[in-house]
Structure 1
C-alpha cells in the first residue's frame, strides 16, 4: 500500500520561508510518487489564489515559481479552508487549478486515511 499524506499549510506571504518550505516538501512528495493532498488554512489560504505561490522566494530554497508547476502538473488536490479563504479575501473565482473550497467534514474524511504534516 502506498503512503498517503495530507500537508497542512498555514502560512503564505506572512512567513515566506515556512510557506516556501511546505511547497518544497509537497513537490518532493510528488517526485517520490507519494499520494499527497494539500490543505490550505489561515494565511495559507492565500496560496490557493492564482499567482500568490509563485511569488514566494524563501531563503536558500527553490522558489515557488519553480515548485508550483511541479505540484500543479501532478494534479495534486488542493483543499482550501472556506472560512479561512473568506477571511483572507480569496473567492472561488480566484482559485488555482486543482483547488476547491472545503469545510471541516471534508478535511476530517481526508485525515482518516492520510498521515498529516503541518507547516
Structure 2
C-alpha cells in the first residue's frame, strides 16, 4: 500500500495580485503579477523577494499591507476608484483579499514603500 507523503516541506504560497480601475467585479484590470514564496521567491513580480518579505511581515493579515497615507502628499478629491486584490493561497490557506482606494494617488500614498503592489 502506498504511503501519502507531502511533495514539499513548505505550505503552498502562490498568489495573483491585480490593480484595477473601478470598485466592483467589473473593474478593468490594468496590471497583474504572480508571486510564489516557498521555497524561494519566484513569479512575474519584479521584486519577488521584497514582496514575500512584506507578506511574511503581515502574519497573514493582508490589511496590514495598508499604511496610514503619507501626510506630506496631497491627493485630489476626485473619485476615480482603484481596486487592488490578492487571490490564491498563502501558507496553505485560501486568500481572496481586496481593497478599494478613492483614486490612484490615494493608493500610492497608502501603499508607499510597499513592495507587494510595486509592479
* The structure with more radius of gyration: 2
Q: Does TM, normalized by the shorter one, top 0.5?
A: no
Higher relative contact order (CA closer than 8 Å, sequence separation 6+): 1
More helix by share: 1
TM-score by length of 2: 0.29
